[in-house]
Structure 1
């Protein structure tokens, strides 16, 4: 099972930092997402971007996790040569995470 099977995502950016939210479709899937979508796993899933730090914030009343990923945007929107300097496609990469234990 992929993360996209149980959640959707939104992204944002500020400088060289990406912000990715993971929002459960159903409240009963939120505990599974909390258990399996850790800072370490997000860091590994986005390893090709060489993020310097991943910080996770839990929003249980929304059934969501928010990840702040420092150093993920190649210097930021005005400095990056990346095709997606804003990091909007990063949510697709994250949602491709396997949730099989």
Structure 2
């Protein structure tokens, strides 16, 4: 199964270094991700672009894994790449194949709004007039 069915990710950058944080949708999937989203798998996944060291930091309190990819970006001011900040690398990592968790219940995987039987919707909650705070534009 693809990682995006179990987790979401965010990417950041500093110079030629990219960092990607992977966070499972369900806290109980964190151990599964710890076992299967390894430095070796991430290094292999980004072999064509990450030429330096790949590091992994575990954040168990947040149920998150942070990967730091050295020499993965061309440097924001020195590259002609379209994605100079490497923001698309998080989406790329989410395409990595990982084994399905042992529970095997695919109804419980994926983002909460996409789960089978979910009563969550995409609608934005409406605020009552007593909850809205409007500011007048400056004159």
Normalising TM by the smaller chain, what interval?
A: over 0.9
- TM-score, normalization: structure 1? 0.94
Structure 1 moving runs of 4+ over 4 Å: none
Q: Secondary structure at the match of 1:84?
A: coil
Match of 1:10 in 2: 10
Are the counterparts in 2 of residues 43 and 51 from structure 1 also a CA contact under 8 Å? Answer: no
Normalized against structure 2, the TM-score is what? 0.69
- The secondary structure found in structure 2 opposite 1:31 is helix
Structure number with the bigger relative contact order (C-alpha 8 A, sep ≥ 6) is: 1
Aligned residue pair count: 100
Query: Mind listing any 5+ residue stretches in structure 1 that lack a counterpart?
Result: none
Give CA-to-partner distance per residue, 1:22-79, whole Å, 9 cap, x none: 00110110001000001111011111103311000000111100011100002x1111
Structure 2: stretches of 5+ with no match in the other structure: 101-139
Aligned equivalents of 1:70, 1:42: Cα separation in 2: 12
What CA distance in whole angstroms lies between the structure 1 residues aligned with 2:84 and 2:12? 11
Match for residue 21 of structure 2? 21
Aligned residue for 1:49, secondary structure, equals: coil
| RMSD (Å), alpha carbons | 1.1
| Structure ID, larger Rg | 2
Change (3 A) 1:3 1:43: same
